[in-house]
Amino acid sequence: MNKNIQIIREESLRLLGHTALQIKEKILSREIQATELVGKLFEWIKDIEPNVQAFITVNEKEALEKASEVDKKIANRQKVGLLAGIPIAVKDNICTKNLTTTCASKILQNFIPPYDAFVVKRLKEEDAIIIGKTNLDEFAMGSSTENSGYKITRNPWNHECVPGGSSGGSAAAVAADFSFLALGSDTGGSVRQPAALCGVVGTKPTYGRVSRYGLIAFGSSLDQIGTFTKDVKDAALLLQVIAGNDLRDSTSAQVPVPDYLHGIDSGVKGLRIGIPKEYFAGGLNTEVSKAVKDALKLYEKLGATVVDISLPHTEYAVAVYYIVANAEASSNLARYDGVKYGYRTGESRGIIDMYCRTRSEGFGNEVKRRIMLGNYALSSGYYDAYYLKASKVRNLIKNDFDFAFGRVDCIICPTSPVPAFKIGERANNPLEMYLSDIYTIPANLAGIPGISIPCGFSETGLPIGMQILAKHFEEKKILQIAYAFERETDFHLKKPPLKSSSV
Amino acid sequence: MKIDKKTIEYIANLSRIELSDQEKEVFIHQLSDILSYIEKLNKLNTEDIKPMAHSINTTNVFREDKLELPISREDALYNAPSTMGVFFKVPKVIE
């Protein structure tokens, strides 16, 4: 590489390597203009993205227009929003007005939403710059982003590995410094697991904390929009913007939103941390286990008490999830019928034939598998044995957490049993893929909030994440606990070894 | 509980999905595997346990019964594969 290009690249990487709060300060103090930042960002994306494939759609023109609008506001000393000039990527299952939203499915390949999701509206109100829509497993169904109908996203730390999923594009975009912030969705771990595999911070709020209006539905009693950030303070910043009640989502909670950044440095002295023994049993990679146990030692040093607890129904969580989530999905995905939007088959014999052909041609295999499994579990004669049974066991899983939180302030455990696995390794065994989410699914079933933060690296240099869980609506507490660890460690500061696509 | 060919055809039809014979084979095998795994739930006695549909308490949300126009008719029709005037156009419904 030409030496000058090398220097320019290093300079722009230093700039793009900042956190959102740091870059916001630079924009507000006019040390850098938002337009200049966005320009450099897209140069970087064009150079590196061919090796990563995090985006389905990039939004360069509109991003530059918005940046220029923010610059003008700042120059004129007008009031600017909480995310003024900060580039953000949005998972492609969250509706963006006039910007294609595909859900990584062929069935929505040309879908242009006529409205913004609640969270997108909030981003725009706070002057964030939406730079593009990120790749995912089709309809958020998967744990590796290999099920996308468009492309396979690669892990920025090792291009032969998956970024995790389903929000793999958002996780990779933040890890590769394509974006300062990103939004994802988490139905069974789709924010926390890819965050862990890509070495970034992933937050899943309490069910109902963030409006699902405009999030394309998968499992409606489990879905929650979450955030990807480079550190914990940025997670607090972004959650502040998207949390809150919305009348257009009837499950959106009417619970006041606290100031998440205020007191984030309160520490963990006197805190009781629960360690669920079931999460450290067979199947857990030894490097992951060691990294999390080392983190617990640090917490003890910081004044917290570590307590052994039990969540006895953990082993049933994956089974419950694949009935409940897919039953809900089979109903939610009935709307893709080739009538109101999306793909429609060419020739057909009547309307039923049109539905069948459209869906068979438009959906990928994982989506078909889940719709069929869901319809089976809900069908006459099987409803009690599967759906009802799973709904009852779900209650037992929630009771496990209720009981545990009577004794401890939070629970800490691994986010994923393994670091990033190789592309293709689990693609032909759906059940094995489902077990990737064994540590993240219980939080969705119980509706509680969770955060995954970097806590180490494997010998081969792959990131390891740990998860902090707390009671409903205790996002503020998990952010404080996460920050107490982060400020003592430098795992979140390490950057992946990215190569230019032009050399 | 194993899935057989008849069952896969039944649920494919409920799902409005067409499968080739080869796809049926693959799905029979995969869904049977998944269902065998799910059968571990039967180890638990849940007779006195209430089913749970939502993780937080939810109540109905009401609003004034006032006409609102969130999106225009033009916008609503924009993404449709086929339209005629102000209608969605579909193939013949009755033979």
pLDDT tens profile A217-262: 999 999 999 999 999 999 999 999 999 999 999 999 999 999 999 9
A338 within domain boundaries: yes
Gyration radius of chain A's alpha carbons: 22
A435 within domain boundaries: no
Reduce the DSSP state of residue A458 to 3 states and report it: coil
How far is B68 from chain A, CA to nearest CA, in Å?
A: 12
Q: Choose from B1, B13, B33, B38 for mutation: most chain A CBs within 10 A.
A: B38
| Angle subtended at Cα A477 by Cα A476 and Cα A481, rounded to the nearest 5 degrees | 120
The lowest-confidence range among A49-63, A110-124, A438-452, B61-75 is B61-75
- Structural domains of chain B, with CATH: 5-42 (1.10.20)
How far is A277 from chain B, CA to nearest CA, in Å?
A: 20
Same domain? A122 vs A202? yes
Same domain? A319 vs A260? no
Same domain? A143 vs A60? yes
How far lies B17's CA from each of A260, A344, A346, in Å? 46, 14, 16
Domain boundary residue among A343, A367, A390?
Answer: A390
Select the more confidently predicted residue: A130 or A1: A130
A–B CB contacts, 8 A cutoff, strictly below: 167
Give the model's pLDDT for residue A6.
Answer: 66
pLDDT tens profile A321-367: 999 999 999 999 999 999 999 999 998 999 999 999 999 999 999 99
Q: Which residues have C-beta within 8 Å of that of residue A402, sequence separation ≥ 6?
A: none
| Cβ–Cβ under 8 Å, residues A335 and A79 | no
Q: Is the C-alpha dihedral spanning A329, A330, A334, A337 positive or negative?
A: positive
pLDDT band, residue A433 (cuts 50/70/90): confident
Interchain contact A106–B (C-beta under 8 A): no
Highest-pLDDT range among A145-149, A435-439, B57-61, B63-67 = A145-149
pLDDT at residue A120 greater than cutoff 90: yes
Q: Hey, are the CB atoms on B15 and A472 less than 8 Å from each other?
A: no
Interchain contact A354–B (C-beta under 8 A): yes
Interchain contact A301–B (C-beta under 8 A): no
A285 within domain boundaries: no
A141 within domain boundaries: yes
Same domain? A268 vs A329? no
Q: Which amino acid is at A44?
A: W
Same domain? A109 vs A254? yes
Q: Hey, are the CB atoms on A355 and B16 less than 8 Å from each other?
A: yes
pLDDT band, residue A283 (cuts 50/70/90): confident
Kindly report the backbone phi and psi dihedral angles of residue A451, in degrees, each rounded to the nearest multiple of 5, phi listed first. Answer: -135, 145
The pair of three-digit structure tokens given for residue A492, joined into one six-digit string: 């979140």
CA A493 to chain centre: 19
Domain boundary residue among A344, A372, A390?
Answer: A390
| Cβ–Cβ under 8 Å, residues A21 and A233 | yes
A102 within domain boundaries: yes
Interchain contact A348–B (C-beta under 8 A): yes
Q: Hey, are the CB atoms on A340 and B19 less than 8 Å from each other?
A: no
* Average confidence (pLDDT) over A164-187: 98
Same domain? A488 vs A340? no
How many CA atoms does the CB half-sphere of B8 hold within 13 Å?
A: 22
**Long-range contacts of B81-86, Cβ-Cβ distance < 8 Å, separation of 24 or more:** B81/A338, B81/A339, B81/A341, B81/A342, B81/A343, B81/A344, B82/A344
Same domain? A231 vs A87? yes
Q: Which of B34, B33, B8 is nearest to B21 (CA)?
A: B8
How far lies A242's CA from each of A81, A122, A179, A208, A224, in Å? 13, 6, 17, 12, 11
Q: Nearest by CB to A251, from B46, B58, B70: name it.
A: B58
How far is A429 from chain B, CA to nearest CA, in Å?
A: 8
**Residue A501, preceding peptide bond in cis (omega within 30° of 0):** no
How far is B10 from chain A, CA to nearest CA, in Å?
A: 9
Question: In which element (H, E) is residue A464 found?
Answer: strand A463-469
A243 within domain boundaries: yes
Interchain contact A115–B (C-beta under 8 A): yes
Q: What is the CATH number of the domain that holds A95?
A: 3.90.1300.10
Same domain? A238 vs A326? no
Q: Hey, are the CB atoms on A445 and B55 less than 8 Å from each other?
A: yes
Same domain? A233 vs A339? no
pLDDT at residue A282 greater than cutoff 90: no
pLDDT tens profile B50-93: 999 888 877 888 888 998 877 899 999 999 999 999 999 999 88
Count, residues in chain A: 503
Same domain? A58 vs A122? yes
What span, in angstroms and rounded, lies between the C-alpha atoms of A424 and A159? Answer: 12
Q: Choose from A98, A116, A389 for mutation: most chain B CBs within 10 A.
A: A389
A40 within domain boundaries: yes
CA B53 to chain centre: 17
Domain boundary residue among A390, A407, A433?
Answer: A390
pLDDT tens profile A394-432: 999 999 999 999 999 999 999 999 999 999 998 888 888
The pair of three-digit structure tokens given for residue A62, joined into one six-digit string: 């509109």
Same domain? A166 vs A252? yes
Same domain? A188 vs A40? yes
| Angle subtended at Cα A305 by Cα A304 and Cα A310, rounded to the nearest 5 degrees | 130
Number of neighbouring beta carbons within 10 Å of residue B50: 9
Select the more confidently predicted residue: A381 or B95: A381
The catalytic residue positions of A are 91, 166, 190
Q: Residue A241: which domain range?
A: 3-273+448-493
Query: How many domains does the structure of chain A reveal?
Result: 2
How many CA atoms does the CB half-sphere of A363 hold within 13 Å?
A: 31
What span, in angstroms and rounded, lies between the C-alpha atoms of A263 and A232? Answer: 13
pLDDT at residue B2 greater than cutoff 80: no
Q: Choose from B10, B13, B17 for mutation: most chain A CBs within 10 A.
A: B17
Interchain contact A209–B (C-beta under 8 A): no
A457 within domain boundaries: yes
Number of neighbouring beta carbons within 10 Å of residue B38: 24
